[in-house]
Chain A
Amino acid sequence: MPIIINLDVMLAKRKMRSNELAERVGITTANLSILKTGKAKAIRFSTLEAICKELDCQPGDIIEFVEETN
């Protein structure tokens, strides 16, 4: 998928662990793992808002569009 999730990068920048973010955002660690590994099909605005709030970043810092090459 050409949409890349850079959650790992932001977590490293903020020196925050995945389970801590999951707890703060109010989602399960399993769901956060799905998001981190790029298996997620969609993300709710409410989840995105909560993640951005906790990591103090913009949606563009987490989600990136990369053109697919054949």
Chain B
Amino acid sequence: MEKLPFLRTLTGITFILCMVILVFAVPFIFMALFFPAQVPFEVNGTKAVDMAPEDYVMLGVKIVVFGIWTYALYLFRGILTLFSKKKIFDDAVILLLGNTGKALLAGFILYFISEFLYNVIVENTFSVGIGAELLVVILALFFMVLSEVFLTAKKMKEENDLTI
């Protein structure tokens, strides 16, 4: 279990970085919306003043998706904390694993639908492509399966503990 503290630290740092990005991203979208001329940098090669309303919507959706995935990271951090306390076959672990998977999946679905609608409505292109995001789906399903595996393991452990 020596890798656990390392993973926990790594997850903690990543979570803090994500939170910092979120803290700056949320006021930024309002700033870009109400004072576009004052935004000192470009978003995806477009100046804030030249951004169309749908670009703002897309940007907002991406921030929401990022927020959901940060929440998933927060839940994962909780799982690692429980593991470090030697709470492995615990109801909280099962719940957190399931919720982490659901959060990852919810983020992906939101991202996929918004990207699809943006392509159809704004870009007038119909394309259904799956790229690196597929890894998120695999990871989400892995967490959900892991939750079920832990539930079965908990029941087996209980049964084993109650075998005299």
A17 to B37, CA, bound (A): 87
Cα distance A44–B162 in the bound complex, in angstroms = 11
Q: Quick one: which of A27, A41, A47 contacts B162, CB cutoff 8 A?
A: A41
Q: Does B38 contact A (CB under 8 A)?
A: no
Which B residues touch A27, using CB under 8 A?
164
Tell me, yes or no, whether B163 is within 8 Å of chain A by CB. Answer: yes
- Docked CA distance A27–B158 (Å): 18
Looking across the interface, which residue of chain A has its beta carbon closest to that of B162?
A: A41
Tell whether B123 is near chain A: CB-to-CB under 8 Å. Answer: no
The smallest C-beta distance from A9 to any residue of chain B, in angstroms, reads 18
Report A's interface with B, CB cutoff 8 A.
27, 31-32, 34-35, 39-44, 47
A sample of 7 more A-B contacts (CB under 8 A), given A31-B164, A41-B162, is: A35-B164, A39-B162, A40-B162, A40-B164, A41-B158, A43-B164, A47-B164
